[in-house]
Every structure is written in structure tokens, then in C-alpha cells.
Structure 1
Amino acid sequence: MPFTRRSLIDAAAARFGWRRAYGDTTDVEALLTEQTETAYREAAHHAALATAKNSDPLAVQPGVLDARGRILADVLYLEGVLTGARNRGLAPELIKCLEDVVDHGHELTVLLADTARATAAGDTAGQ
């Protein structure tokens, strides 16, 4: 399906709180590629903005806390998805992948919490 048509369908579905599911790995790969390209396009802008704004540890803190909050919410959502997959007896490979994602997500939130604490510790050794 062409990108513009898929985008319109996805946008319309999102307005109603729906999410599309893709039964074909080709469609999934296309979406993954699109997500990656979009993220990397935006990353250059974020890096330039962060360089200008993040002049000390406290300037870094709000972004770290925001990212941790979003990631924690997503990890807890995925934990629910994992529970549902287990309860419904879905494929063991899918369950294993979800377990890995949830475990990694929790580890990431711990690292981000440590980073947030470091911003408040007043450690300015890098300056």
C-alpha cells in the first residue's frame, strides 16, 4: 500500500483510538523502516537543540525525566500485552520477545532514573 494512503488510514484510525495490525512482514518492515527514518531525521535537530540548551546538568534533567516517564508507561503497557499473550497461549516465540522487551525496558528506566539522579547531584566534572 502506498505510504500516503497508509498514512491517511492510520491517521483516521488514530482519531478513533484504533491501531492497525499488519498480517504481512513486508508491511511491518516498511513501517519499521519508516519509523527509523523519521526518528533519525529528527535526531539531528534534537542534537543541535540539545547542544544549545544543555549547558549544565540541571538543563539535561527535564528531558531525562520526561523520557523515563514515557518509557516506563510504555513498558508497563507492554507488560500488560505480555500478560495477555501468556493468558491467551500465544506463540512461545512472541512471548519470549515480549519478555525480553519488558526486561530491557525496565533496565532502561533504571538507567534513566540513575541519570536523573546524577543531574541533581551537582556533578559538574565534565565542565
Structure 2
Amino acid sequence: MTRRSLMDAAAARFGWRRAYGDTTEVDALLTEQSETAYTAATEHAALATGKNHDALAVQPGVLDVRGRILDDALYLEGVLTGARNRGLPSEVIERLEDVVDHAHELTVLLADAARATTAYAGSGN
């Protein structure tokens, strides 16, 4: 386990999240997150191919993802409100606004995808 992993694990145990003071550390974490996600994506694709035999089989996963993203969007709305109330830099606020808007748009698209699965319920298509 790396030193950062140990520090993050200890912080998580107390419900804390670590903040990084420079873009190098943030970029390293973003790269690590991306590598982990893309590694898992190969397995997800294989499982989904076997599991999602028709349109209705896709629906539970889409609904689960929508719920998680909606929770995250609402969390980020709170972060944005706090940033505004504390007078954080306008660039930070603008980026958070973009993220919140995009997250809400994504929940709408996922809801549409979930609804679309019902149109093909039982058809095998």
C-alpha cells in the first residue's frame, strides 16, 4: 500500500476526505481514477453482454446509475451553494455550476433511457 493510500484509508475511516494543494497531486489522482475505471470497464462490458439479453434487462442498471448520479448532483448543488456563500473564486463557482447542470442533464437522459426500455418489454429487442 502506498503512503497516499494509507493516508486516504485512515482519513476515510473517520469520514474525512483529503484535499490536494497542487494540480500535480490532483492530476495523479484523476489518472489513477481513470485507470481503475477503464480497467473495470472491460469486465463490465463482458458481464453486461451476457446479462442484458433484452431491453428490459438493461433497465435496473440504468435506474441504479441514475439514482447515484442524482444523489451526487444534489450533493454538488450543496457544494455549489457553500462555494457561493463563502465567496469562493468565480472560476470555481462557474465550474461547479457547469458540473451541476451537466449532472442534472445526465439524470434526465438516464430517465429517458429507462423509460425507453419499457417500450420493448418482453419483445426480445
Bin the TM-score by the shorter chain.
over 0.9
Instruction: Structure 2: state its 5+ residue gaps.
Output: none
Match of 2:67 in 1: 69
Structure 1 gap ranges (5+) = none
Alignment partner, residue 56 of structure 1: 54
TM-score (norm 2): 0.95
1:4-50 deviations in Å (ceiling 9; x for gaps): 11011101111111000001110000000000000000000000000
**Superposition misfits of 4+ residues, deviation over 6 angstroms:** 123-126
Query: Residue 70 of structure 1 aligns to which amino acid in structure 2?
Result: R
Equivalent residue for 1:115, pick from 89, 113, 124: 113
Residue number in structure 2 paired with 1:98: 96
Normalising by structure 1, we get a TM-score of 0.94
What secondary structure is seen at the aligned counterpart in 2 of 1:21? coil
Matched residue, 1:84 = 82
Asked if structure 1 preserves the Cα contact closer than 8 Å seen for 2:59 and 2:117, the reply is yes
- AA in 1 matched with 2:20: Y
The match for 2:32 is 34
- Show the 5 A alignment for 1:5-44: 5-44=3-42
Superposed CA RMSD in Å reads 1.6
Identity %: 78
Change (3 A) 1:56 1:126: closer
- Tell me which amino acid in the other structure corresponds to 2:7: I
The alignment covers a number of residue pairs equal to: 125
CA distance in structure 1 between the aligned counterparts of 2:50 and 2:35, rounded to whole angstroms: 24
Tell me, in whole angstroms, the C-alpha distance in 2 between the residues paired with 1:87 and 1:126: 52
**Secondary structure at 1:20 match in 2:** coil
Structure 2: how far apart are the matches of 1:100 and 1:123? 35
Q: Which moved more, 1:116-125 or 1:8-17?
A: 116-125
